[in-house]
A and B are shown apart, each in its own frame.
Chain A
Amino acid sequence: EVQLVESGGGLVQPGGSLRLSCAASGFTFTDHNMNWVRQAPGKGLEWVGRIKNKVNSYTIEYVASVKGRFTISRDDSKNSVYLQMNSLKTEDTAVYYCAREVSGSLDFRGQGTLVTVSS
């Protein structure tokens, strides 16, 4: 069974940092590009960024609003993808999901992890 388990969320002050993790199982992790998507409370979905797999040179893309502040990485030996978030702003408050890329779309399997940026 495909599983994606996000962790690492919590309460952080503006300007602070947090590192999210996503542990994958049930599929061949190295075959897939991995994405992060967020959802602010009561709002819609916003794509945050993507890291391709090794075959595609681990190429990374970000949405403009997080570029320079967030960093996506992956550890294929641990079947995990990470989201390092620095210089956090109140508008970064959201549930963060990781998703595997399948056939040009996103397959979400986890419950997400809540990040709250507040003083």
Chain B
Amino acid sequence: DVVMTQTPLSSPVTLGQPASISCRSSQSLVHSNGNTYLSWLQQRPGQPPRLLIYKISNRFSGVPDRFSGSGAGTDFTLQISRVEAEDVGVYYCMQATQFPFTFGPGTKVDIK
């Protein structure tokens, strides 16, 4: 199985400041069709997960442009340009290149 790791696991941030989360996969996430199925999801407290970014860098419908994704191969990054109070929660990276789909352990983002 593809193992997903995330750093940091906890990230206290100041409102209005940037935040960055790294995700690394144990194998390349480049699919045989050329796509890289690496996504980022947000889970606010008491809420279901919400899709933010798909295929490394594509923002899903309704996602604010302060969220951006980058990376390639096995190393990926989610950036929040200016953290807002509503961004508090746990962020997961997920790969859907290979079965079984797997998630990172999650990074908890909260306000300092």
A: residues with CB less than 8 A from B are 35, 37, 44-47, 50, 61-64, 97, 99, 101-112
Contacts and interface: CB of A to CB of B under 8 A. Distances in A.
B20 interface: no
Contact of B55 (A46, A62, A97, A104): A104
Interface in B68-100: 90, 92, 94, 96, 99-100
A107 B51 contact: yes
B92 A45 contact: yes
Contacts of B60: 102, 105, 107
A103 B33 CA distance: 13
A105 B55 contact: yes
Contacts of B41: 45, 106, 108
B51, B90, B104, most chain A CB atoms within 10 A: B51
Contacts of A103: 54-55, 58
